[in-house]
Amino acid sequence: MSYDPAAISTLIRNRLESFQSNTTVEEVGLVVETADGIVRVSGLPNAMLGEMIAFPNGIFGIVFNLEADHLVVIILGKKTAVTIGDTAKCSGRIMEVPVGKALLGRVVNAVGEPIDGKGPVASTGVRPVETKVPGVLDRSPVEEPMQTGYKIVDALIPIGRGQRELIIGDRQTGKTTLAIDTIINQKGAGVVCIYVAIGKKSSSVVEVLETLTKAGAMAYTIIVDASADDPASMQYLAPYSGTAIAEEFMYAEKQDVLIVYDDLTKHANAYRQISLLLKRPPGREAFPGDVFYLHSRLLERSARLSQELGGASITSLPIVETQRGDVSTYIPTNVISITDGQIFLQGDLFYAGFRPAINAGISVSRVGGKAQTAAIRKLSGKLRLELARFREKESFTAFASELDEETQLQLKRGTILVEILKQGIHVPMPVEEQVLSIYLATSVLIEKLDLSKVKAFEMALLAKVRSEDQSLLEEIRSSKKFTPDSETKLRSHIQALLDGAFKG
Q: Which residues contact 221 (CB under 8 A, 6 or more apart)?
A: 104, 105, 183, 192, 193, 194, 195, 212
- Strand, coil or helix: what is 197? strand
**Residue 221: predicted pLDDT:** 97
User: For the chain, what's the residue count?
Assistant: 504
- Strand, coil or helix: what is 68? coil
- Strand, coil or helix: what is 437? helix
In CATH, 376-499 is 1.20.58.340: no
171 is catalytic: no
Give me the tens of pLDDT residue by residue for the chain, a chain 504 residues long.
555 677 777 777 777 777 666 666 678 899 999 988 899 999 888 899 999 999 988 889 999 989 888 999 999 988 888 999 999 999 888 999 999 999 999 999 999 999 999 999 988 799 999 999 999 999 999 999 999 999 999 999 999 999 999 999 999 999 999 999 999 999 999 999 999 999 999 999 999 999 999 999 999 999 999 999 999 999 999 999 999 999 999 999 999 999 999 989 999 999 999 999 998 999 999 999 999 999 999 999 999 999 999 999 999 999 999 998 888 999 999 999 999 999 999 998 899 888 899 998 889 999 888 889 899 998 888 888 888 888 777 776 666 567 777 777 778 888 888 999 999 898 899 999 999 999 998 888 888 888 888 999 999 999 999 999 899 999 999 999 999 999 999 999 999 998 887 776
- Of residues 366, 389, 391, 477, which has the active-site annotation? 366
**Residue 24: predicted pLDDT:** 67
Q: Give the orientation angle of helix 291-299 with respect to helix 330-338, to 10 degrees.
A: 30
In CATH, 28-94 is 3.40.50.150: no
Partner residues linked to 304 by β-bridges: 313
- DSSP assignment of 385-404: HHHHHHHHHHHHTTT-S---
CA 475 to chain centre: 32
Domains of the chain, residue spans: 28-94, 98-372, 376-499
**Residue 131: predicted pLDDT:** 92
Distance CA 252, CA 476 (A): 33
SS (H, E, C) 79-131: CCCCCCCCEEEEEEEECEEEECHHHCCCEECCCCCECCCCCCCCCCEEEECCC
For residues 263 and 322, is the Cβ–Cβ distance under 8 A?
no
Q: Where are the alpha helices (DSSP H) in 442-483?
A: 454-468, 470-479
Distance CA 344, CA 342 (A): 6
Nearest Cα to Cα of residue 64 among 77, 52, 79:
52
DSSP letter at 164 equals B
Strands 51-54 and 60-66, bridge-based pairing: antiparallel
- Structure pTM? 0.91
Domains 28-94 and 98-372 share a fold: no
**Domain 98-372, CATH number (from 3.60.20.10, 3.40.50.300, 1.10.540.10, 3.20.20.140):** 3.40.50.300
**Residue 155: predicted pLDDT:** 92
Distance CA 214, CA 206 (A): 12
Q: Would you call the peptide bond into 428 cis, given omega within 30 degrees of 0 as the criterion?
A: no
Indicate the helix (H) or strand (E) that contains 125.
strand 125-128
